[in-house]
Amino acid sequence: MSTAAVETLVAIGDQADGVRCDMAMPLMNDVFAKTRGDRAGAAPAEDFWPNVIPRVRERHPDLLFVAEAYWDLDAEFG
């Protein structure tokens, strides 16, 4: 899951110290379900960010992720 996203973020980490993740919240399964319902099909088996971030940090442990977050969900991004 999310192989292309991981590869892209690793490539960014090869060139920069951080990455800005606009519209990060809609990729969270619970937020997607609340805002889109079942109109887009079933949610993925794994939530996007908890799957992607650790895989990127294997290569770039200090890469700064700056996520757009609201609704008091900023803690969800660590």
pTM passes above 0.85: no
Please write the tens of the pLDDT for every residue from 10-60.
999 999 999 998 878 778 888 777 777 777 777 778 888 889 999 999 999
| pLDDT at 48 (0 to 100) | 87
In this predicted structure, what is the pLDDT of residue 58? 96
Burial class (CB in 10 A: 0-12, 13-18, 19+), 52: buried
Q: How far apart are CA 63 and CA 39, in angstroms?
A: 34
**What are the angstrom distances between the C-alpha of 9 and each of 2, 31, 43, 52, 59?**
11, 22, 22, 9, 10
Distance CA 2, CA 10 (A): 12
Return the pLDDT at 60. 97
What pLDDT is recorded for position 2?
77
